[in-house]
Structure 1
Amino acid sequence: MLERLGGEAVPMQADRFEIIGRSPVMQDLFRELKTIGQCDASVLIEGETGVGKNLVARALHRLSPRASRPFVALNAANLNDELFESELFGHVRGAFTGAYGDHKGLARAADGGTLFIDEVSELALTAQAKLLCFLDQQEVRPVGGLQATKVNLRVICATNQDLREAVKAKTFRQDLFYRLRVFGLRVPSLRERREDVPLLVDHFIRRFAAHYGKTIAGVSKEAMAVLMQHDWEGNVRELENEIERCVVLTPDGMEVQGDVLSLELEPVTPALKTNGTAVDGSLLRESRHAAERSIIDKTLKRHRWNVSAAARELGISRVGLTRKLKRLGLHRPGTRPSLASG
């Protein structure tokens, strides 16, 4: 969708792609998307956890001449070399223990369309070499197979790491970096576009109200003030999770009030008012503190104290969750009060 802004047609909040924003940095991103989407070169999307890199990748695909062909996604996190090769190129029956049948592989599944590799920075150096070879040859040979098959696809990758620093540290191949980054797109953090928070809040309220069959009459000024000043370390994903929680807790037909916000969203005033009655700020913070501790503790236990997995579910960065654990005094059972693995 296009909106006339400043005399120039630029993509607006994108109900077409669910990329929401009218801030200057997002207008710049929309312009880049429109231009880069039309070409067939590789794209590297960079940005913090939760900014919407996967939505940007899908938008590039839908703006491209390949839009009618498949969009296939592969998350490279936690894939060892063998599993990465099998997922990308496929395997034949008996290629390794557990290979009970032929597997087509995602590269062949994406033939004619777009292959999106998320968290590409997590690939080991040997897997990076295989990816580079594939990009150069556009040829697939399944693990354990002899026959190679040509494919024709566009590759888009994403990372939340600084790959330039990874290249310097020799944990990421320089030749692969330049091969992936024919075009580079940086998705801004939510902190860089706070003026988009009300648009996003409205979008998520509409979505979750419909999902839960409720009517939500908007957001109170006090609650919006808190949402606007929060740092959003988990970016749009964290905001999305927060609004879903608020919609669930808000009575049908009412507006979201400050007292349903999570503990981590510290109020901008010492006390909030609910139904005209002043609520003591310290008591409110204490109750939210207990609620946040309980949610994080249950999430960590569900993921067997894998901090990275828990952070992804909570919609915040691993560093952000680490800080919360220290602040809340949470630590893995059987260890001293310091962060355990993840």
Structure 2
Amino acid sequence: MATYRRKDTRNIQVIRERNTSMYHKSGWQKFKEGWYLFWSEVGRQLRLLFTKIHEKGSQRLTIMVVPHSEKKTINIHISNYFLFFTTVLLVAMVITSMYTISENAQANKQVVILRQLDNHNRTQISEYKSSIESLSERFYNFKSDIGTVISGVSSEKNLQQLDPIEIKEESKSSVAKGVKNLEQMQFELDVIRENVKRLGKYVIDHKRLLREMPSRYPLQMRGRLTSKYGPRVDPVYKWKIENHPGIDLAVIPGTPILAAADGTVRMAEYHGGYGLVVEIQHKYGISTRYAHMMRFGPGIYPGAQVKQGQVIGYVGTTGKSTGYHLHYEVRIGGETVNPLPYATMLE
């Protein structure tokens, strides 16, 4: 018993010395030793695991094939490694096949959808083609009408002579042809738009010209032409032939008399045989005279500015007159001209 006690005492002393020496080690040395022990344990456990796997994998399975006849029995030895890898391969093949089948089904659905979309697009292209043909026909009818209008007001050739658009039967490039035809129509529309602008400017200038020259009928209502322009028998002195400088329009007494064009009142007074007369000076050396008035319109005096259609007086029978009527004259450069074409210009 004493011997064992001596040994235990020695072991305890050795352990204490080791522990004492460990306490004197640095922290880095302690970390290295702990790290080394950890990975040593990990390696040992891995080696044990691989050893067990190898033992299991090395084990063999015997398959006996016993024929019905008395022939020799066939023994097939298969290792667990072979069974494992064969199983993994079969599982991978099954998963791959299922994925391929699923992808193939999705691809078939996409093909069906694309075919339907292709049919829809072909239908739309056919409809667009018909619409372009109809638009082309209507466009060139419109172009022809515009050309007729412009050629009627101007001798200048304003529209470019382009051949009508023709869309041929559908082909691989039918869409490109349709786009090209639309671009051509757009170009021609730009040309026509410019000519329409010119036509609009011409119309504006024409309206302005008609306002500035005597082109309106001088009465608010239609009168009866009782005396034309030129030589006639004097209505008062029947034995005399006179040159009538205007036209006489018989109408209801008091009918408003209208300015035939824009201008400036040059005369508004009682003037001999004209009676109460208003003379308006217009542009381009043209003037108009309105005689035998009952009274002047409001704001009518020499120097007043009047607009076409403004009331300048009322039909009367003042001066050398045999009845209620308007004596209407048109003068160019001081010389009288037949006013009838001017009075009917806007009809």
Q: TM-score range by the shorter chain?
A: under 0.3
| Bigger proportion of residues as helix | 2
Determine which structure has greater relative contact order: mean sequence separation of CA pairs < 8 Å that are 6+ residues apart, divided by chain length.
Answer: 1
> Of the two, which has the highest radius of gyration?
2
Q: Counting strand residues as a fraction of each chain, which structure ranks higher?
A: 2
The TM-score normalised by the length of structure 1 is 0.15
Q: Normalising to structure 2: TM-score of the pair?
A: 0.15
